[in-house]
Structures are given as structure tokens and as C-alpha cells.
Structure 1
Amino acid sequence: MSNQESDIFDLIIRGGTVIDGTRRPRFDADVGIRHGRIAEIGDLRAHTAAKIIDATGRIVAPGFIDSHTHDDAAILFDPQMICKISQGVTTVITGNCGISLAPLSPDSPHPMPLSLLTGDEHAPHATFSRFADYLDAVRGSPSSVNVAAMVGHTTLRVMTMDSLDREANSDEIQAMQGLLSEALEAGAIGVSTGTYYPPASAAPMEEVISVCRPLTGTGAVYVTHMRNEADGCIDSLNETFEIGRALDVPVVISHHKLQREVNFGKSTLTLPLIRAAMRCQCVALDCYPYDASSTMLHTDETKLQGRVRIATSEAHPELAGRDLGEIAEEWGVSRVEASRRLQPASAIYFSMDENDVRRILAFEETMIGSDGLSLGEKPHPRLWGTFPRVLGHYSRDVGLFPLETAVWKMSGLTARNFGLTGRGTLETGNHADVVIFDAATIKDRATYDTPAVAADGVEAVIVNGELTWWRGEHCGARAGEVLVRSRLNQA
């Protein structure tokens, strides 16, 4: 390349204030992008580019990494991924809570919550018998965001067991180990569990450890929706730490929370416990910035306490957005019976304390994950609003932490914990995943009544050097890549 050619960039972001995803103080600089990589950061006024974006008065930051998603199918059937790209998200971590689209045979059962990914009987999504086939499909039809995929323990159980209400036997464990090894070889970044849910709740800790043995020595992660996030949260944390020690692998605690009023305030106990574990082993955690969760509609009375709002119902789609208590009263039945009649269904549970949410968000090592579900017209607003809500409401308005810390929690910290080399920070040579936003106006607009609304203040989003979102419109680019963990393959 000649000197003259080396002065020409594909894109220059000029005049912005850089927050680089490392927690270092912000600084004014131009960012030059060439061949999908960040080529130079500094004073580039003497350089030219095929395209120049004026970012004066704006923050230039690494594209956000959504640490906890259920976008496994969405990236294939909705590849523009506007719900994520409009927030500044450039990478999604899929396969959480023990459920993944692969490895899953077409004739396998799809019990809740797995069916939240696979679709209903009228509109089923594709499933993939081999994890390699799933990743090939993602590569063959790229979405607007990068994808780092995990394999789900529940999915492995579905593939190998004739009954899920018991512990796996030695042959079934061996079969699951084989499927997990194949997934890791194909590019899975780890395994997730969802022992909170019925299809995996019968799996004791010993089964989980045995199934996950192939993780050891690979650098892959163990990610968990713990067995209990309410009365038994302390015991579940200790079980999680023990699994990580037994396997000698990094552990990620998914969407840390304390559910039900009797447990409000217990984050003052759980966070010191997590901090103590971090001193002895590799432990990470994420959360979402809301005091309501969302998942399958339970039929267990203990899980229906408090306000429950129906998000989707295949049997009664017209009741999406209504409270379960109101529906039960109209039908003259118990909440449990109403839940049964609404199945299959998903719901929003108003079961957390705002003080706990803030305490967990502010915990130094907490990553940000949306845990959104791309289902129906009334999803939890976190699907569209998580990242702007952290930046606008919790960082700017509430003052929970500086903007540099907020950006780190959704970029550099997440890339580090999941081993995503060359992502998460604005550094020369890194992949050019970039978001440009207005720190003064960024704001989530998604609400529980109108959840599918893009945020304010996100001006531009660049994925692997391609301008993908610009001033409220998708640009048509689908430059997302499949990402693999650095110790498994090259990113």
C-alpha cells in the first residue's frame, strides 16, 4: 500500500469525544476505520475518507455487547435486529438460560421455556441437529449484529433423555458430553444452564458438573440461570461457585436478582458473597435495569406471586398486555387455572425491589444484559430499551455511576468476561464496532404499554466497519459475524 493510500480511510468519525470502553477518562479524538478495523485514533484532520461522520458534541464508544439474550432465532428470522441495533448493540450473546436452537432435532420435544426459542406449532423456527449447522446458518445469512453463541444444558437433556423429570443416567450424561464437545469444537463459547426451569430442575449439581466436563481447559464459560433467585438464592450462589471450582472454568451468574418481597434487600448479602468468590475463582454477573422479569408463564403458584402481566398467549392472544389477576377474576378461576388456560404463554413478573436493582447495577463488576424475548406485540420493554436506560436514566439522571463506567459495563467488561478478542474497546487494530450517541438526550422510550419503540439519542451504529444505523433508520447493512472465544479459535 502506498503512503497516499494509507492516508485514506473507509470511514472517519470526526470531532467526537471518545469513551473507549476501558473506564479511562474520555478524550477528544477522531476515529479512522479501514477494512472493518479501527486503523487510527487521534487527530485525523489531514486525512481523507470515503465517508466522514461529524460527531461533534457526541460520544463515540465501542458497540455494546448484550451479555444475555435469547436472540438465537431472531438473528435468522429478523436479521436487521432493529430492536438491538437501535440501542447501539453490535454483539449478542445467545444460548442463555439452558436453551439453544442447537443441537436440536426437528422431532425433539420443545418444552417451555425452550419453545420460547423454537416458536409455536403454527410458526415454528428452524432447529439444527448439530451446533455447527446452526453457526453455518448464521454465517450464511448474516444479521446486523455479531453473534457469540452458547449451547444450552436443557437442550442437551431434550436431545438425550426420554424423561426430563429425573436425573440423567451415565449413558445420557456421556451422550450430552459428546454433543457439548461437538458444539465447543464448532465454535460455541460455553454452556448455559437453567435449573430454575422444569425441564432441568431435576438435574442435581453432580449431573451439571459431569455434563460440563468438556469445558475444562478450553477457556469456555459456564453461564447459569440459577436454581433459585428467591428464598434459596444464597444456596444457589454457593452451588454455582462449586460448579465453577469443580470444572475450573469461568462462571457467569445470569441476570442477578432477588425475587419476591420477603427477599427484598438481600442484595446486601449476595453481592458481598459474590465479591468474596471473585477473590478465589473467575466469577462474573450481569443484570438488566428493570424491576420486572419476563419468561414463560408459570403454573406453579409460588411463582405467580405479585403482579403478573401476560406478554403472549397462544390460546388467548387478545389478552396480551392484561394482568393475570384481572383475567382470573373475569373467568372466576384461580390464577393457577387461568395460567393453565393461557398456555403456551409468556409473562412479565413485577417481583423485584428497585433498591436491589440499583445496588446490583452499581456493583463494580456487573455487566449489562437485556434478557429480552422477541415475542408478540407486548414484550418486556428491556428488549428495546436496556442500554439507553442504563446510559440515560441510571448513569446521567440517577447518577449511579459515571458514563465511562456505564460504557465499560456494556462493552469492555463483557468482552473480557466472554473472551471476545478484539471487541469491546476502541483501540487500534480492534474490530470497528462503534456507537455514536448524544449523552445529553439518550433515553429509552420503550414502556410496558408501548414496548417496541426505539430509543432517543443513538445517532449512528457501525458493525465491523459498516454503517448500520443512522439517525433513526436502518441502513441495510448486515455485517455481523460469528464470534468465538479467543482460546478456542482466533476471533
Structure 2
Amino acid sequence: MDDLLIRGGHVIDGTGAPGFDADVSIGAGRIVAVERRSARTARRVIDARGLVVTPGLIDIHTHSDFTLPLNPRAESKIRQGVTLEVVGNCGFSLAPALPDRVGMLREYLAASAPSLPFGESSFTDYVRSFPPTSVNVILQVGHNTLRLMTAGMENRPLTSAEQAAMEALLAEALAAGAWGLSSGLFTAPGCYADSAEILALARVLRRHGAAYSSHIRDEADHVSDAVREAIAVAEVTGVHVQIAHLKLSGVDNWGGARRLLGEVAAARARGLAVDCDAYPYDTATNPLRNLLPRWVVEDGIPAMLERLGRAGTRTRIRADIARHGLTNFGRIPSWDVVRVAISPQQPRDAGRTLGEIARRRRVDPLDAVCDFLLADRGATRILITSMSEQDVHEITATPWVTVGSDANALATSGVTSQGKPHPRSYGTHARLLGAFVRVLGLLSLPAAVHKTTGASAAALGLGDRGMLREGSWADVAVFDPARISDLATYDDPHQYAVGVSTVIVNGEVVVDGGDHTGALHGRVLRRPPAPQVVDRRQLL
């Protein structure tokens, strides 16, 4: 007798093929059969008539390592059908944290992980102590974190000893099971690394059969150059490269989606192991300080705060922004497209734009920005509407572009319910399967499911997740295709998606009848110690 039988649903198996009516049998954590009108018996039968049954969704780019220790139930994600989150992205990871650098890491990540306690930890200890969660988790080690541990926030090339130390820390993380390395070349200290530094680390990845994901060096005026830099890592070293949240920021770059996608498509056509992901929103989120010229944060947060108090610094910032736009985001119409998401010291301003705040205070908008950063000691987090809806639609509608929320797992109550964060924490996957399929008609439902299941599994090199087939791990989502929707908005972001009735993780029911059972059946998926060879053509 099997453990579970999902009977009468319309199966969309994650391969991109059209759906079909079938029963799905689950036993010992695995899918044991996908059959039309199955005669198998099970301890529990789930009635899926009128519903769609898919593989559990894969959120391939997230920052839930900042919240899962505080919110292990991962409500905002699993209620959308997400069963696997890839964390440690954009060059940010909570480990390794060396004894004399813990304070620096805590200060550096304050705008991203304001409530999370920090302590000394090797990556081995970090993996070992990662808490039980409702979702499966893939951990990456961050390049920015490694650089903090070796050279701090200094804007200079590494010494040979520092480079060797960084490579040793990376090797230790990979040996502990880290899936790979992520970079955040858009901001300090990652932006201080040249291509040679990244290639040296990529060769370590190659020896371990690990992967590389990158928040590329620029997503605005120099985005094509930045994409080519990421592609070169795959070309030179042979490692798999994931380009994170592909976008075109800044009004000067709007309308360029087809050309940008063509750069990535050409690399893939040459046989390079390159993938990319995107989220279905025209608004990004970041620490407010990252919008300023990169020299502002040289030598760390205390040095930045001292600079921001000087009138001469503000004059120089204003001139740099007038010439080049915002760092990584380009030119924006005004500061009215930048709103406060989380402010530790000024929580009443969450949801207000910096243009509005400047008018209320009767100051220049840049002075309001600098004053806000000073009050929050650099820990302000913002939302910025910097993309065109047309580009977002074109990128999201591309079948081979995978889906990453770039967001944390949150909840509508408790410590992770603070502020007004990006609604993508609650809505990315429901928005894709709902509005982008049912309302906008940009994708068929099988194509949309494939992007966030089979295609994502292939990009990660996972041969036993992301598809409903015999022998695969039983990560399963059941939802109403006519109802699945995101409800979260920028003004009211803490709202769960609707339409998902059942979510199964490793064969255990975690969402039952739309309610979270409290079960924590997720696992940390460790990178295999030997290189894993997956035939991507067979998976797709």
C-alpha cells in the first residue's frame, strides 16, 4: 500500500508537455507511479478532480537564508507551491563568519537580515546547524562574504595570500556541501573584484563539480557587458553559470529585452552551460546605500556614515548621479519611484517614497536619502521601480528563462511580518501561474510550470526533482488553475497567495486544504562530493 494517492487531477509533469488526466501515487518519499485510472491503494487519497497536479515549484534565486531560521514554516513561499529554495545569492551568505569579522558581516547584512542573530561559524558548521524547514533548501556561499573575510571593504586587488585564503574558504564550503558560489559584482566589496579573481574561484568550482550564479556587475547602462562577463566564466572554465534576475534597469535602457535575451540565447546555442532567471515585476529591492556611487561605501559602513554627513560628499554624489544615474539602476524619473520597504529606526516611513519624504521634510531629495541612511546607520531597504513592464513581460515569457523571486520566505505574523517588503515574497510564482498565464496569456500553463520546475531542475543539475515521474522525489503542488493568484501589493504586501490546496514535500503533506500543517519536512540538499553529470537534453 502506498502512502498517498492523488486521484483525478490534471497532471502537468514539468517537462513542458501538454497535461493529461492521471493519478499520482507516492510512497517512501518518492513518486511510485503516474497512471491513468490507477488501481493502486494508499493510506490516504487526495481528491484532485478539477485541479492541476504539478511538481513542487523551484524558487531558483532567493534570500530566505535570512529568514528561514526565524520562519522555518516558509509560509509565503510554500503557500504558492514552492518546495525548494536556492539561497545564498547575490554574493551574500551567512557563512563563513570568521571570529574577527563577525561584526563586519553583521553590519554589512543589516539591511537584508535585520532580525537575524550572527555568530562565528565555518561553512561546515553552518550547513550542520541549518534548521529544519518546510521547504527543501540549496545553500550557496557568497563571494562578497568571502571577500569580507579576507580583505574587508577595501577597494583593491587581493594579495596572493588573500586570494589563496579565499579559495581555501570556498573549497571548505564546497566540501561541506555548498552547491556553488554566488557573486554580487554590482556592489562592494564584490565590485572590487576583477574578472581574473572570479575566474580563479570558478576554477575551484570546476574541480569540485560546482556551479556559479551571479548578480552581474551592472543591470543598467552596461548590462550587455556584464552579461558577457558572466558568460565568459562558462566559456573559460566550463562551470555552469546562472545569471540572476535578468533585467534592464533605467529609462535609457527600456525596450532592450530582445537584444539582451539574444546575448544569452547565442551563448546557449554555442553549447555553453548558461541559464538565467527573472521575476515577474517591474520593481526591484535593495539596500538604499547600493543606489549611491560605489565610492560612498568604500572601507565599510562607519566610513560611509562619516562621509554622508559632509556637504561636499553630497555635492559629489549629486553630480555623479546626474552624470551616470543610480548605481546598477540607471536613470529614474524621480525619487518618487523609490519607496522605503524596511527602516529599523523610522518604521513609520515604510511605504512612503523618498520623493514624498523629501517634500514633507522640505529638503532636497538627495539630502533626504543621505539623512535617512544616517538615521538607519545604513540599514534602510527600499523598493525601486526601474524596469519597463514590456521588458518584464518579454523576459518572463521566454520559455527557457527560469523563475527566481529574489525574495525571502515571510509570514503575515511574527518577526518576518515587519515593514512593507516587496510583494514578490508572497506572489512571484502565483503571479506567473495566474496573471501571466490566465490574464495576460503570455505563456501556456505547461510552459509556465516547466519554467519553475523541470527547467529549473535542469539548470541546477537535479535529475530527481522538478518532474512528476516514477522514482523522483515526491515534491508536489496541487492548485486550481482558475483561481491561483497573487494578492500581495506594494501598499499591502503581507498577503498570502490563493488557489493552492495541497503541497507535498519529500512525500509528506505540508499544505493541506490550503492550510499549513506545521510540518517541517524539507531538507538541505547537499552538492554531491563528486561531479554530477546530468544530460540537460534528456531532462528537457
* CA distances 1:334-365 after superposition (whole Å, capped 9, x unpaired): 33332232231100000100110011111221
- Provide the TM-score with structure 1 as the length reference: 0.94
Q: Which residue of 2 aligns with 1:471?
A: 513
Q: Would the alpha carbon gap of residues 34 and 189 (structure 1) be closer, same or farther in structure 2, given more than 3 Å must change?
A: same
1:234 matched to which residue of 2?
A: 224
- Say if 1:114 and 1:155, in contact at 8 Å, map to a contact too: no
Shift of 1:389: 0.3
State the match for 1:3 in structure 2.
none
Match of 2:405 among 353, 370, 378: 370
TM-aligned CA deviation for residue 16 of structure 1: 0.4
AA at the equivalent of 1:293: A
Other-structure match for 1:439: 481
1:74-153 aligned at under 5 Å gives the runs 74-105=67-98, 107-108=100-101, 109-110=104-105, 114-117=109-112, 119-120=113-114, 123-127=115-119, 129-138=121-130, 141-153=131-143
Confirm or deny: 8 A CA contact 2:9 2:22 kept in the other structure: yes
Q: Residue 266 of structure 1 corresponds to which residue in structure 2?
A: 256
Equivalent position amino acid for 2:431 in 1: R
1:291 aligns with 2:302: no
In structure 1, runs of 5+ residues without a counterpart are: 1-7
Q: 1:421 to 1:484 in 2, by over 3 A?
A: farther
Aligned partner of 1:34 in structure 2 is 27
Give 1:330's aligned amino acid. R
Q: Cα distance, 1:278 vs. partner?
A: 1.0
Residues 232, 290 of structure 1: alpha-carbon distance in 2 compared, 3 angstrom cutoff: same
Say if 2:285 and 2:422, in contact at 8 Å, map to a contact too: yes
Which of the numbers 333, 354, 363 marks the counterpart of 1:324? 354
Larger deviation, residues 199-208 vs 177-186: 199-208
Which whole-Å CA distance do the structure 2 matches of 1:377 and 1:320 have between them? 6
The 3 A distance-change label for structure 1 pair 200 and 70 is: same
**Matched-pair contact (CA < 8 Å) for 2:59–2:405:** yes
Distance 1:347 1:488 in 2: 41
Kindly indicate whether the alpha-carbon contact (under 8 Å) linking 2:155 and 2:189 is maintained by their aligned counterparts in 1.
yes
For 2:304, the equivalent position in structure 1 comes to none
Q: Residue 203 in 1 paired to residue 193 in 2? A: yes
C-alpha distance in 2 between matches for 1:100 and 1:176? 14
Q: Distance in 2 between matches of 1:334 and 1:113?
A: 27
Equivalent of residue 8 in structure 2, options 7, 11, 15 = 15
* Matched-pair contact (CA < 8 Å) for 1:23–1:408: yes
Q: Distance in 1 between matches of 2:50 and 2:120?
A: 46
Q: Distance in 2 between matches of 1:91 and 1:425?
A: 13
Structure 2 counterpart of 1:5? none
Residue 461, structure 1, aligned to residue 456, structure 2: no
CA deviation after TM superposition for structure 1 residue 324, in Å: 0.8
Q: Give the distance between the partners of 2:231 and 2:120, measured in 1 at CA.
A: 31
Aligned residue type for 1:89: V
Provide the C-alpha distance between the structure 2 equivalents of 1:489 and 1:212, rounded to a whole number of angstroms. Answer: 14
- Letter of the aligned partner of 1:472 in structure 2? G
Equivalent-residue separation in structure 2 for 1:116 and 1:249 (angstroms): 31
CA separation in 2, counterparts of 1:40 and 1:362? 32
Question: 1:4: which partner in 2?
Answer: none
Question: What are the superposed Cα offsets for residues 427-472 of structure 1, whole Å, 9 maximum, x if unpaired?
Answer: 1111100000001111111111111111111111000011101233
CA distance in 1, matches of 2:153, 2:254: 36
How much identity, in percent, do the aligned residues show? 42
Q: Is residue 194 of structure 1 aligned with residue 187 of structure 2?
A: no
1:365-444 aligned within 5 A = 365-373=400-408, 374=410, 376-444=418-486
Cα distance in 1, alignment partners of residues 235 and 492 from structure 2:
44
Shift of 1:61: 0.2
The answer to whether residue 54 in structure 2 is matched with residue 61 in structure 1 is yes
Alpha carbons 1:370, 1:383 under 8 Å: kept: yes
Rate the CA distance shift 1:25–1:52 in 2: closer, same or farther, 3 A. Answer: same
Seen in structure 2, the aligned counterparts of structure 1 residues 489 and 276 have a Cα distance that, compared at 3 Å, is closer
Q: What is the root-mean-square deviation of aligned Cα atoms in Å? A: 1.8
State TM-score, norm by structure 2: 0.85
Q: Deviations over 1:389-414 (max 9, x none)?
A: 00111112111111101001001111
With 342-351 and 286-295 compared, the bigger mean Cα shift is at 342-351
Farther off after superposition, 201-210 or 91-100: 201-210
Gaps of 5+ in 2: 293-320, 374-378, 411-415, 535-540
1:351 to 374, 382, 386: 386
* Distance (whole Å) between structure 2 residues aligned to residue 434 and residue 126 of structure 1: 34
Distance 1:220 1:103 in 2: 18
What is residue 233 of structure 2 aligned with on the other side?
A: 243
Structure 2 CA distance for aligned equivalents of residues 91 and 126 of structure 1:
24
SS at match of 1:76: coil
Q: 1:427 to 1:234 in 2, by over 3 A?
A: same
C-alpha distance in 2, partners of 1:252/1:278?
Answer: 12
Deviations 1:192-225 (A, max 9, x none): 1101012211111111112332111433111100
Q: Find the aligned partners of 1:443 and 1:352 in 2 and give their Cα distance.
A: 22
- For residues 354 and 363 of structure 2, the distance between their equivalents in structure 1, rounded to whole angstroms, comes to 11
Aligned-partner Cα distance in 1 for 2:108–2:426: 21
Moved more, 154-163 or 56-65: 154-163
